[in-house]
Amino acid sequence: MRYQLRDQAGASRSVAYLLMGAGPFMFVTGVVLPTTRTVAGVSIFGVLTVVLALGGVICRWRPEWVPPLMWFLAPFAGTALVTFLNAFTGDASTGAQFFYLWPVLYTANFLGRLANYVSMACVSAGAAAVLFPIQGADRGLTDWVSLTVAMILTAVVVTSLRSRNDRLREVLETQAYADPLTGVANRRSFDGELARAVTWAKRGPESIALLTIDIDYFKKINDTYGHAVGDQALQEVAAALRTVARRDDDVVGRLGGDEFVVLLRTDRLGARRAADDIRAAVAAVESLPGGPPGLSIGVAVLPDHAGTAAQLGAASDAALYEAKQGGRGRTAMAHPPAPHGVAV
């Protein structure tokens, strides 16, 4: 994520609140409070007040009007603005330098590592451009080093917290979309993957295959050997299904109980071969006390047997039912849909 904006909504709100706060602040400090005013100074601060406030309103309520590149340039524009105002007002106080916190925090929260390095360099350079001319070499160096170190430590802490939150979010997402027993996709996750695969298949000549798998007599396994062995059987079958899902876009899911599904980017022949490979992988399992379980498999292919995700699922279910009715332990291929107006 070196060059990726992490959260555009959050970034737009951050910029909006900064600008909407900076506008009135500039008006008060640049127009109202100074005892000595010049036409140039009042004009500059007046224009900046209006521009910043208007920019804040746009960023908050119409962020789609802002070019995407601006979210990347925001911390550097903020650094330039703080440097200009501090230099223009001759303010080298600690309070004035604290305004550099915003670009540091913004970059640490929303941008990548390279942007953090560049932003810190800009902040350090901006502070030096103000502190040294106003305070001189000795005091300016002390304050500049202090400010730079403080900003670097702030960026390190925020970046570390952000990384920790990212890891926690990944764990939560895995828990939300994966079956806890087998580690394959759960129904919610699989339904989303199926919808995306159908959209992909309709864009070109490629086919997708849906295999629906049931473990034969799974209740008997639980009743005879206990639920611990039943869970182990589910895990072994899930591992066997993973052996045929070799492509990055292939998906293995557990819909519940002993029902699994496999989504493959392949045609009818490839789906039939995958079913045979699954049987071979399960047949090689030696860790179950009752031996490897039997499987009933229903296969449907889009566009051969269906045109939508719902139709593909129904066709695969129908093929699975046919496999069970035929004696279990077999694979059944779905039938092409009947032409319109033809009774089945």
Q: Strands 259-264, 331-333: parallel, antiparallel or unpaired by DSSP?
A: unpaired
Q: How far apart are CA 186 and CA 60, in angstroms?
A: 37
Reference 210, options 235, 230, 190, 229; nearest CA is 190
- Evaluate if residue 341 carries a pLDDT over 80: no
Q: What is the DSSP letter of 253?
A: E
Q: What is the mean pLDDT of residues 315-329?
A: 94
- Evaluate if residue 2 carries a pLDDT over 50: no
Residue 1: what pLDDT? 43
Q: Please give the domain boundaries of the chain with CATH numbers for all domains.
A: 8-176 (no CATH), 187-333 (3.30.70.270)
Q: What is the mean pLDDT of residues 125-149?
A: 93
Q: What is the mean pLDDT of residues 218-238?
A: 94
Residue 30 vs residue 301, higher pLDDT: 301
Residue 344 binned pLDDT confidence (cut-offs 50, 70, 90): very low
- Evaluate if residue 264 carries a pLDDT over 50: yes
The count of residues in the chain is 344
**Does the model's pTM come out above 0.85?**
no
Residue 340: what pLDDT? 55
Residue 338: what pLDDT? 66
Residue-averaged pLDDT of the chain: 90
Residue 339: what pLDDT? 65
Residue 174 binned pLDDT confidence (cut-offs 50, 70, 90): low
Which distant-in-sequence residues (6+ apart) come within 8 Å of 110 by Cβ? Answer: 5, 6, 7, 10, 11, 14, 71
Per-residue pLDDT reduced to its tens digit, 56-95:
999 999 999 999 899 999 999 999 989 988 888 888 988 8
Residue-by-residue DSSP string for 182-212: T-SB-HHHHHHHHHHHHHHHHTSS--EEEEE
Residue 167: what pLDDT? 86
- Evaluate if residue 173 carries a pLDDT over 80: no
